[in-house]
Amino acid sequence: MQSRRKIMNSKGKGIITAVIVVLIALAAFCGFGYISQRMTASEGITYLDKKEYQKAYEQFDHAAGKFTLIFTKQKKDVLFYEGEALYQMGEYGKAIEIYDELIDHGESRAYSLKAYCLAQQKKLNKAIDVCDQGIKEHPDDGEI
């Protein structure tokens, strides 16, 4: 009976140790993803400032694909920049997809940016509908 408890205790300690190691590795990986995302986005901003929209888009798209455990402010900013690069390239449909993702995460400003894309596509009624939807969802927010 005594040796059985020792075996159970030993297995329990092994499982706990394995879980801790996995959690530490996951935290390190997420931290690396966050830092890497920031560096890549910084390069994208440089290209955006130079009006090199294709290169900017590629950097932001790469940065947006970096693994982060949660949807951070940095991830949100990267997506807004990615949408801007696509808008400047005339890729309104792709920009709308980005803004839809931001809307899904509760970003009110994305409604007006999506509406601008729709207006560029000559879909004025849809653009107005998007603005109305944004106002309905975020009545106290002045960014729509």
Q: Work out the pLDDT band at 15, boundaries 50, 70, 90.
A: confident
State residue 29's pLDDT score.
47
State residue 114's pLDDT score.
99
Cα 125 vs. chain centroid, distance in angstroms? 28
The tokens for 43 are: 């390069």
pLDDT in tens, 46-103: 999 999 999 999 999 998 887 665 668 888 999 999 999 999 999 999 999 999 999 9
Task: List domains and CATH numbers for the chain.
Answer: 2-137 (1.25.40.10)
- Measured over the CA atoms of residue 108, residue 114, residue 116 and residue 122, the dihedral's sign is negative
d(CA 7, CA 17): 15
pLDDT in tens, 113-127: 999 999 999 999 999
